[in-house]
Structure 1
Amino acid sequence: MKITVIGAGAIGGSLAAKLSTAGHDVQVAHARGPETIPAQVLESGARAAELADAVQDRDVIILAIPFGVAGQLAGLFASVPAETVVIDTANYYPGMLSEPIEAVDNGQVESVYTAEQLGRPVVKAWNAALAGTQQTRGVAAGTPGRLALPVAGDTEQARRVAMQLVDDTGFDPYDAGTLADSWRQQPNSPAYCTELTLDELPAALAAADRAKDARVRDSLPERLAALGANPTVDDVVEMNRAAHR
């Protein structure tokens, strides 16, 4: 597939490298220009591109950008064909990683908000795994204990495309239903960054509680501070699991 990743940070860079290694035609774009794309992101064959060029003639566009800024790209996406699948990877951490957003604080689902700001449908994927998990724990399909990631979207075709790409990055994809249901994979639900298998993930999604999960999310600074300096991926995963025991 012809794929563009917008954003070259820990998530975007990892996805670009993995999808390029899997054989896809991958472009990487950044609002600050192609010269700002780190060299290591391009080592697997992905190409740096100007943002305006990178959204044209693509099958999939992956947004690996901070939550709340998608609306700044609405004009750019106005000319993107409706059949192009747009995947949102962002998460909302008010007061930590983004400014508070009233609509989301009042109950609007994260990626539903993003879709409205962008002016087109999106699929929610790759948001429910730590960057370190995505970078180091993807394995081949059929490997015992392979971790699973939820994928939510409003059309079967778009979910199917996103699920194929999740598989290509080393994780079992799980059909998590419509975008309106994607609150079940938002921070800090039982399915969020807890490294579950395909057998374990459905129950975790079902156990989500919006009010409780928001409180767990908002307690993140204190819980991270309790881990001390330089916590490992395993430390953070265990912290997330413990919050729901």
Structure 2
Amino acid sequence: MTTIGLIGSGNIGSTVARLAVAAGHDVVLSNSRGPQTLQDLVSELGPKARAATPAEAAASSDIVVVTVPLRAYQDVPAAPLAGKVVIDTNNYYPERDGVFTELEDGSSTTGELLQKHLSEARVVKGFNNIWFEHLRSLARPAGSADRSALPIAGDDAAAKQAVSELFDSLGFDTVDAGPLAENWRTQRDTPVYVTPYGAFGELPGTPASAQVVREALAAAKLTAG
């Protein structure tokens, strides 16, 4: 099984960790406050989980999920992520992150920002368009009629394949939204953001098939600008 590293262990990170352990993967959790702050979560997850520093989580894992606020993306350690597949969950919230001119004018996307920072890693955008509670509640075994799909974007085909295989093991199909330059189609306030899986705050959520996700991505393309 794959070892999944988490840089950031908040709502999305801890949910991914729970799904990963349930699927048989090992997880290495980290955050900005130190491994000692993650002991309760590690105890909950059991023997397949441990806590570490962000650099240790990066170095010891096959796939690393970066799930920190966008304002902190430059704090992610670059050297231990060289050559690694990195899943970027970031979304841009100016009121939280400050204003990023290149995101405001459309000259870059959040995924491209992280890829530039992690120049030797292989960044794939994922997990950024779904509320963490729906991520938990909508996971289904492969072949289930009510299985949901998640969009990804990335510039490296092999990295996207690795992420698709991971998502499959966690309980989701995958829809390829294109290169990182297209990951704006999965960001906040786009048709594929949160609502295909049900209303924010309401459980258990609504399964969103690959076709539903493809149509939402296409709608974003039609309404951009």
Q: TM-score, normalised by structure 2?
A: 0.86
- In structure 1, the partner of 2:92 is 92
Residues 151, 175 of structure 1: 8 Å contact kept: yes
1:127-159 per-residue CA deviation (whole Å, 9 max, x = no partner) reads: 111111012221111111211100111111000
Q: When the two structures are aligned, how many residues end up with a matched partner?
A: 207
Residues 17, 43 of structure 1: 8 Å contact kept: no
- In structure 1, the partner of 2:33 is 32
- RMSD of aligned residue pairs (Cα, Å): 1.6
Q: State the SS of the aligned residue for 1:47.
A: strand
- Tell me the CA shift for residue 26 of structure 1: 1.0
Q: Please give the alpha-carbon distance, in whole angstroms, between the structure 2 residues aligned to 1:106 and 1:61.
A: 29
- For the pair 1:198 / 2:210, whether they are aligned, the reply is yes
- For the pair 1:46 / 2:49, whether they are aligned, the reply is yes
The within-5 A match list for 1:41-190 is 42-44=43-45, 45-73=48-76, 76-82=77-83, 84-95=84-95, 97-107=96-106, 108-120=108-120, 121-190=122-191
Residues 8, 38 of structure 1: 8 Å contact kept: no
Q: Please give the alpha-carbon distance, in whole angstroms, between the structure 1 residues aligned to 2:90 and 2:99.
A: 15
Taking structure 1 as reference, are residues 42 and 173 closer, same or farther at Cα in structure 2, changes over 3 Å only? farther
Q: State the SS of the aligned residue for 1:4.
A: strand
**Structure 2 unmatched ranges of 5 or more:** 198-207
Determine what percentage of the aligned residue pairs are the same residue.
Answer: 35
**Structure 1 unmatched ranges of 5 or more:** 212-245
Q: Please give the alpha-carbon distance, in whole angstroms, between the structure 1 residues aligned to 2:42 and 2:12.
A: 11
Q: TM-score, normalised by structure 1?
A: 0.79
More deviation, 196-205/10-19: 196-205
Q: Which amino acid aligns with 1:178?
A: P
Q: Please give the alpha-carbon distance, in whole angstroms, between the structure 2 residues aligned to 1:37 and 1:130.
A: 22
Q: Please give the alpha-carbon distance, in whole angstroms, between the structure 2 residues aligned to 1:142 and 1:122.
A: 28
Residues 152, 176 of structure 1: 8 Å contact kept: yes
1:145-178 per-residue CA deviation (whole Å, 9 max, x = no partner) reads: 2111001111110001111111222221112221
